[in-house]
Structure 1
């Protein structure tokens, strides 16, 4: 059991509660004191204001929320079977307490297979694993000229095709290229349903992106990657994101996006948040893995196709946190970009901060920001 945790009996009901002691990141700032968990929720926070740099007690922060994760622990969502359970368990060890399983562009049959098994896993969630909030449908409704590492199955989207998959496993986020014929109307319909529509894998012009945002699109998929870039006479998707975006996801491995570009996006987009875009290689040794129909190769910090092109990542959210703080962001801001902003973007209002009544999705860190323990709804992940 982690050294930061004491257990005690609290209250009149005899219910067992856990008390975490350390530097607690609350909406009002850092407090040195105690956080009490009861029945999977935060029951109370007490303490006095503190600068955590002044002591060596654990840093207690909200669990990470990853809205774009294809795989982990050797498993890829598109394999079906228990792959979604494996990736949820793997990423929980690195501090992710909620996630969206993310699909690849594929044939109708392959998507139905993967979504059917994902729905089965969601119906009986694995223990000691991140909470699976639903699916991010990354393709096939994308531009075939902007595949990136996606297999060549891009096709125009229809509401019927969306509904067929959504009936198998709930789609919370969709990546779509707005310039494809019929997609503006689809964006409007899906946004009205509450689906978070993201512009990505797109060669759209600036004005097309503005129209998509006005039609209900809310975000941008792995900003800078697989989208029309910024030129001062052709702003493209990147220019639209920087000029008009309120939310956008960005892969925080410092490989897909270098430091200067990350910091520029941080200045321009109020609620820029971090994702891993992790593949089956996350949490694994160097070697060969699967990403949809592709064979990909992990070497060090990156995952690549046989031709050397980037193909997702091996990133985990704890590494992303340290990458952000290494660029000079405070731990408070880094935490927001890995927890609060993705929760707010998705409209999940019971997590992302440490306050009474919220889910006890919690990460405790050493002073060096290494994972000590992870709790999902008050249950410890690490033995």
Structure 2
């Protein structure tokens, strides 16, 4: 599982309930154990790198074989670079739930071109539903760092349920088309776009070949997760979890 929080910024919490957000306290590792218990079923953890104790937490998680992603954060670029130095490898839904790019401090978005990270690939998830991320921003990210781009949906349980009122934990979500809004606010509460839709939209928005967009949903995430020996490609000996699609990314069979 990918757990976003509760060690995130209250300023950039999105639709996460304020009362569930935590700091690390004096013992970051103990705080992780108190919240998550066993890490057995956790693959990825999103952390705000500006939180005190975050670097110790990132080192512990990375040392335990877990993928650490930076996000839901008000961090500047330096804090993001420190997070990557401690063991983080990716960014959670780029542009969303983080400070905007500024020419004096590009914040987490600046990690895509940070000279402090050398030649390593900076991976980043991006919600290519046409709602969370403007097409111009999609093109900007793709042209800046195509190697690290990973398509994500950020979909909630309301995906496929149609327009109306839905629940997300303690939250009430109003869905209209591809818009999912936290009731009583203008806060976008996750996505209701499918992976095929997001792959197709990336190809159109970034003006890249469909094959490249598909790699962003298969090979690249498998590489990041360290499971490329069995996922993400069509080769003998790999898992045969196949999806048959049309050129318009309509799913024919799975």
TM-score between both structures, scaled by the size of structure 1: 0.60
Q: For residue 378 of structure 1, what is the aligned residue in structure 2?
A: none
Structure with larger Rg: 1
Report 1 or 2 for greater relative contact order, CA contacts < 8 Å, sequence distance ≥ 6.
1
Q: Runs (4+) of structure 1 moved beyond 6 Å? A: none
Aligned in 2, Cα 1:312/1:195: closer, same or farther, shift over 3 Å? same
Tell me which residue corresponds to 1:156.
Answer: 23
- The answer to whether structure 1 residue 301 and structure 2 residue 178 are counterparts is yes
Structure 2 partner of 1:64: none
Task: Kindly indicate whether the alpha-carbon contact (under 8 Å) linking 1:249 and 1:272 is maintained by their aligned counterparts in 2.
Answer: yes
> Is residue 268 of structure 1 aligned with residue 144 of structure 2?
yes
Q: Distance in 2 between matches of 1:166 and 1:248?
A: 27
Tell me the distance in 2 between the aligned counterparts of 1:189 and 1:304: 35
How big is the shift at 1:242? 4.3
For 1:185, the equivalent position in structure 2 comes to 56
CA distance in 2, matches of 1:293, 1:345: 32
Alignment of 1:320-331 (within 5 A): 320-327=198-205, 328-331=207-210
> 1:310 aligns to what SS in structure 2?
coil
Give SS of 1:303's match.
strand
Alignment length (residue pairs): 240
Does residue 315 (structure 1) correspond to residue 193 (structure 2)? The answer is yes
Q: Do residues 357 (structure 1) and 223 (structure 2) align?
A: no
CA displacement 1:118-139 (0-9 Å, x = unmatched): xxxxxxxxxxxxxxxxx11100
Choose between structure 1 and 2: higher strand proportion.
Answer: 1
Structure 1 residue 365: Cα displacement: 1.3
Aligned to 2:71: 200
1:253 equivalent in structure 2: 129
Q: What does residue range 119-158 of structure 1 map to in structure 2 within 5 Å?
A: 135-152=1-18, 153-157=20-24, 158=28
**SS in structure 1 of the partner of residue 203 of structure 2:** helix
Structure 1 gap segments, 5+ residues each: 1-134, 375-383
Q: Any idea what the Cα deviations from partners look like across 1:144-183, whole Å, max 9, x if unmatched?
A: 1211111102111332343352527511100001111111
Partner of 1:175: 46
Work out the CA distance in 2 between the residues paired with 1:320 and 1:329. 13
- Say if 1:229 and 1:239, in contact at 8 Å, map to a contact too: no
- TM-score under structure 2 length normalisation: 0.89
The answer to which structure has the higher helix fraction is 2
